[in-house]
Chains A and B, each alone.
Chain A
Amino acid sequence: MPDTTGANGLREDFRVVGKANLPGLTSYAMATGVAKYGTDFTVPGMLFAKFLRCPYPHAKVRSIDESEALAIPGVLDVVKWDDPIFSELGANPMGGGGGGSYLPQEAHYESQEAGCIVIAESEALCDEALKALKVEWEVLPFITDIFKGAEPDHPLIRGPELIEKEAADYRPGGMATAEGHVLMTKHYPTDPPREANVTWNIKVEGDLDEGFRKADFILEYDVNIPTCISTIPNPPASVAYWGDSMYKGPGQKIYIEGAPHRRESIMSMYHKSSDEVVQEGLFQGGKYCDWGLRKSQEITPLLSKRMGGRPVRCCNTREETFDLNRNERHMHLRLGVTRDGVITAVEDNTLVDNGAPGSSTMGSVSDRDWGGYYTLRCKDITQRFKVVDSNIGFMHTCAQFVPYNWDSITVGFDLIAEKLGLDPVEVARRNLHGPASQDDPNPVPSFEASLELGKKLMDWQWHPAGTKRLPDGRLHGASFRYAICPRHSFMDYFCKLEYRDGVVHFPTQGPIAGWFSTECFAMIAAEELGLNYEDICVDYDYREKHSDQAGGSDGVTGHGWIVKECANKLKRKILESAARQANPEPGAYRGVFGFPAPPSPLAGASADELDIVDGKVIVKADPSRFVPFSRATRENVTAEFGGYSPKSAWVTGFGRILDTMNTSWCEVAVDDETGEVDILKYCVVPDVGKVIRRTSLESQIDQVVFFSQGCQLLQDVVHDPETGVRLNSNFLDYRVPTTMDVPEVTKEILELRSGNGAYGASGISHNLANSHLIITAIHNATGVWVDPPATPDRVLKALGKCEIGGLE
């Protein structure tokens, strides 16, 4: 299904697109430290603000005595939850805000902002003031262990008001697709009623009983996925002050840095029009698929106003930045399987964390429509989500790890392989449906190509679990998984290109978020306009409509399709303008001060007869007749294009059609005397459809692999079992991999050109993310399952090497 719907989708001659090693537009600014992020902004005379944070998983501020804090020299104000100033705030369209409830009295997770904000002359004095507050906390029942939380007699952790609000929320919520499909729906009216802290989300397709009847045996297993942290590198921060508006008068304009591309949220919260909010900073930092503003990023204008217009800075600490990237999930699977290894029924009973109130449903229930199940021929599928309210943490739309339930399939294939003595690759082959639909019996070309290359790279020789030792004595294991490279198109996109004074401008508000999408777009525009990458002048301006929030490298491709169409529209308009100017009306004056201009080399040609090639506007029939592109026309030409790229996965359904796919392969060595897992080989063969910008594409693959590896081998969120308090919200005890920990990732990138982005490009990053590829390889090595993170202690325990008794 190549990109036949757009202009030049089948292009074969690429001059710019696909190139490696073109420096990013802001790379020098980033490398030399001149790029400024929210944490970096300072304004002379600024004050500092800090929120009181809840030190318990669930507690309510009963009272605050701030008198001692206010007596400290340099501490200026303590703003409490019931201060009337909060009622001035409008709602934030991304969620939150809105009137008197902005700063809650009750916190639903540890380190949530609650009770008050202190304002002082320095950060140190804020700390001093917070310490001097006399806060009376009412510690409330909490859930940090969702198994306990799911028990019917567990005390309720949410009041009736909150429960009612959520129950009423049968929402058309989150993102809607072009065709009106609704994603991220939390509950359906058909779901069973709430029981204590548990809600249900059930999806039944086909006939499960019928599916099991077709099976020769039933495979039952668990897939446990722990929570992980959204390790945003830059703690959310902002600084804001009020300035004069030329139109509205003194002190009416907000200057705020640190909430890049969230100007609309600020406008809405402060009831300001677009010309009254100035936000020049561009650099968002690594907030991958984390779209939530933190209170530290949106409250500073309010505090500045309270302090008479003095600038105020507010910055989270690392501990306060430990938001969830993924909700904890425990899947219990029952698969009906034939003796040929074909799955006939899927029953997925999942216990999943609902997070704190208002948390995103991504990665908890909303991925029920996105899973690997739909890549199977089997159509008898029941998914039952038992969703447990908790105080574990908050998730801001983050979903670097969706879709989750892919790896229930990865593990399932491994178990079927084990039982039948078949290579899991063969099991996958027997279960995967064809390209067009779940009924299509044909092989998927992208999958077959990826398999073939992957097997070669790995020198793939599968063996049953626990049967191979390496010469150095360690156990050897291997694993394989597949996924789709999804046809992403998160929302409707927009692009504007301007030909101005001979130069093509691409105005964008940014943000610079780490996936080099602006660079990809500039390359696509250059390709279509017959120019070089450097010829596209990217104008960063916060007032522009175009934004890079494309959805990682996945969304870049769908967004890129829009840019491609826009560039072709601009090209057409430039050629029309050039033809118009080369062919003046008979008798019209054309010249300077009475001296007639020589006829244009393009004279006589219509727009259809012109083309742009290598920086020149040429007559197609006679390329010796040309004008330089910079003098194509004296007019300014603007083209805009917006909308959706064709047939995204949101429309076709995840996995229901199969075009661009990927395989990942892993080989580990497990030291069964120390529990250490060493990744010997990690290969990825994605069919990305078409490479746009090779260097960053490769980096995105590394990122997603390192992320997945960190979560499978190192990263572990630990709560004290008695108090529910988190014990490791820092970068020492919560271990993100270092340069010494990550494997070398072998990548062979396929380009079968069948995605829905520009030139048939497709997404990449999300679906290489996995929770169980390495875990499956460890199983293949040892014969036991170790739940992630497979830290040495857990591996040793699973191997039965942690005996407690018998030590004289």
Chain B
Amino acid sequence: MEAKAAGISFRDACAQASARIAAMPAKQKIVTCPLCGEQFLGFGDLTAHYLAEHPDSAAPVELRMTVNGRACQLIIEPQQTLKEVLQYNLGLTGAKQMCDRGQCGSCTVILDGKPTLSCNTLAADCDGKAVETVEGIAVNPKWQPLIDAYCKWDAMQCGYCTPGFLVAAKALLDRNPTPTEADIKEALSGNICICGTYPRHSQAILEAVTYMVKGGAENA
């Protein structure tokens, strides 16, 4: 079971995040036509099939991205958002769909170093770019204090918007390793939580900063 295996410890959740990253297909060997289910050996064959069989349908495109440090070569449909490709093609569900219009921040990822709303970004626009998701942050030991602080302070209730907040927090700390509470509120102001966790994020991030920047002296 998902949650049982995730358990209480950091290591278990990280192991799962790590397993999900490892399970991402680096390159699709067999390509399935998304319209009729016929299978092909490569992108070229699929394109030819579209021209012959589905001339009026929008044809798939190739996409090369680095996701959480791993190079991926995918065949996607042009209208797919980055969020959809992460979920359907790569099995990464840390970016969540809440509003699907760029109005809530739950799907935040880091694209070429910048916080980005993956529901509001076409995957086809991301060719050649590097994407970092919450799973990638979770497996990087550098960010363990941040995740620890999030869990210690209940910076979540139902947990659905939490990964989006965590990614936005990480993006903030990349740019500003010692933010003030006001900086944090501003940086997280594009993320909607209905469970009332807003003050908890500032608390958790400030504590993580103490640990990460000042070596945890005040935290000990």
Contact = CB atoms under 8 A, between A and B. Distances in A.
A35 B6 CA distance: 8
Contact of B13 (A28, A233, A707): A28
Contacts of A286: 157-158, 160, 194-195
Interface stretch (B40-48, B121-129, B130-138): B130-138
Contacts of A37: 96, 160
Interface of B: 1-4, 6-10, 12-14, 16-17, 20, 34-37, 53-54, 57, 77, 79-80, 84, 87-88, 91-101, 103-104, 106, 133-135, 137-138, 147, 150-163, 166, 184-186, 188-201
Contacts of B192: 233, 731, 736, 738
Contacts of B93: 33, 36, 40, 42
Contacts of B184: 739
A276 interface: no
A513 interface: yes
A233 B106 CA distance: 9
Interface in A742-777: 742, 744-745
A712 to B, nearest CB: 15
15 contacts: A25-B8, A28-B147, A29-B7, A31-B155, A31-B163, A33-B92, A40-B93, A42-B93, A74-B35, A233-B160, A283-B158, A286-B195, A513-B158, A702-B200, A740-B189
A470 interface: no
A707 B156 CA distance: 16
Helix, strand, loop or mixed for chain B's interface? loop
Interface string A50-86: 0000000000000000000000011000000000000
A475 interface: no
B195 A24 contact: no
Nearest to B79: A124
B190 A738 contact: yes
B98 A40 contact: no
A27 B151 contact: yes
A34 B2 contact: yes
Given A280-B2, A541-B1, A699-B196, A317 B150 contact: no
Given A34-B17, A282-B2, A739-B189, A707 B196 contact: yes
Contacts of B151: 23-24, 27-28, 31
Given A27-B151, A34-B13, A121 B157 contact: no
Contact of B91 (A42, A233, A739): A42
B8 A23 contact: yes
B2 A28 contact: no
A502 interface: no
Contact of A74 (B16, B36, B106, B198): B36
Contacts of A40: 87, 93, 96
Contact of B197 (A73, A231, A699): A699
Nearest to B138: A32
A287 B159 CA distance: 12
B97 A28 contact: no
A21 interface: yes
Contacts of A122: 34, 77
A416 to B, nearest CB: 32
B69 to A, nearest CB: 16
Nearest to B78: A124
